[in-house]
Amino acid sequence: MEKKIVVLPGDGIGKEVVDEGIKVLDTVAELFGHQFKYEEDVIGGAALDQFGIPLREETLEKCQQADAVLLGAVGGPKWDTLPGHLRPEKALLGLRKGLGLFANLRPVEVFGPVVESSTLKREVVEGVDVLVVRELTGGIYFGLKDRGEYDSGEAWAKDECIYSVEEVRRIAKVAFEAARGRRKKVTSVDKANVLETSRLWREVIQEVHQEYPDIELEHMLVDNAAMQLVRQPKQFDVLVTENMFGDILSDEASVLAGSIGLMPSASLADAGGLGMYEPVHGTAPDIAGQGKANPLATILSCAMLLRYSFGLEQEADVIETAVKSALEQGWRTPDLVLSQDDPKSVLGTTEITNKIIEYIRKSA
């Protein structure tokens, strides 16, 4: 198979982890006889430094012509005081909106060997398998933003939160369809006791549910959901929610898996459309440049890329199995080690990738 992948490393550890993802993709390509052509481009802070804007039109066009996009992360202290339209994060938002990537899948699977990496109790996290379905191109992220001044001279700022019926309907379908291939339960998370957008959200979810009588639907308020996620996470199968709630809850859920460095994601458009793949974490300025970032979230995102965009199920499985093997053998990046007395072998970003590549070669 011949495919074109646009690679957008971004800033901070983005580049470090994306480099490792590509090594893994190359190994799979070699072993299974595929040809992946990479086209790298700069976005975020790197693009601000080089071109004065976070996302160039030609970058977006390149992505539109690709078979898939692999992204690291954007942002960092250097660009934190720039105005909103010139922030590195604007690149990510522009790509998501510009490519129509409304469905963000963030699986939270607790791998047996790293149960001890979670700060939560073994019996709470062992066996957790939740799919967070986050709406990605609507809500407060994309509503009107404004600043002004009251007559008194006091400044104000606002972010509008808006959802249309169709925006909710299409993400609801993604969630119900995903549940069909899983444990057949959807928890829709909203704040319908306060927000009008949430009341619309709930109505539309209920309406779409009529087409899925085989799926159990439950509504949960977001404050309770944040609590239930760490209290009794095994009650969740598919958790569907709006953009900002999904952002917050997926970082929280990463604690179940042991580290945000283990959390992959896929951002998808309508069936058959383009897909963008990225770790859930950010640029980690506190550890950038030290060679110790966990590349597994990105490597697992590459597996999702092969599965969802290229239909390469077996190749994706081989990567996921190799990641699990490396963890079973006790290999860890520092973020997965809670205590200094842990006997596990701590490796850097490249070293743990080399282990994974070794397991891929053995298994294929």
Annotated binding site: 76-89, 96, 106, 134, 223, 247, 251
Binder among 243, 294, 309, 353 for ligand NAD (CB under 6 A): 294
Query: Is 141 labeled as catalytic in the residue annotation?
Result: yes
Give the integer Cα–Cα distance in Å for 96 and 269.
9
Give the integer Cα–Cα distance in Å for 184 and 196.
28
- Cite the annotated binding site for substrate by residue number: 96, 106, 134, 223
159 neighbors 84 (Cβ within 8 angstroms): no
Nearer to Mn ion, 132 or 316 (CB): 132
Give the integer Cα–Cα distance in Å for 144 and 290.
39
- Cite the annotated binding site for NAD(+) by residue number: 76-89
Candidates 234, 230, 147, 132; CA nearest to 179 is 132
Query: Angle CA(342)–CA(347)–CA(351) in degrees, nearest 5?
Result: 155
Query: Is 342 labeled as catalytic in the residue annotation?
Result: no
Q: CB 46 → ligand IPM: shortest distance, Å?
A: 15
Query: Is 191 labeled as catalytic in the residue annotation?
Result: yes
Nearer to Mn ion, 113 or 138 (CB): 138
Query: Is 37 labeled as catalytic in the residue annotation?
Result: no
Nearer to ligand NAD, 233 or 264 (CB): 264
Say how many CA atoms lie within 13 Å of 327 toward its Cβ: 25
Per CB under 6 A, which region of 58-66, 86-94, 118-126, 182-190 contacts ligand IPM?
86-94
- Report in angstroms the alpha-carbon separations of 213 from 106, 126, 186, 240: 24, 30, 12, 17
Judged by DSSP in three states, 128 sits in coil
Give the integer Cα–Cα distance in Å for 284 and 257.
18
Binder among 281, 307, 332, 355 for ligand NAD (CB under 6 A): 281
CB-nearest residue to ligand IPM? 89
Based on the shown chain and the rule CB under 6 A, indicate whether residue 89 belongs to the binding site for ligand NAD: yes
Q: Which of 141, 163, 212, 359 is catalytic?
A: 141
Total interface residues for ligand IPM by CB under 6 A: 6
Site residues, ligand IPM (CB under 6 A): 75, 89, 92-93, 247, 280
Return the active site residues: 141, 191, 223, 247, 251
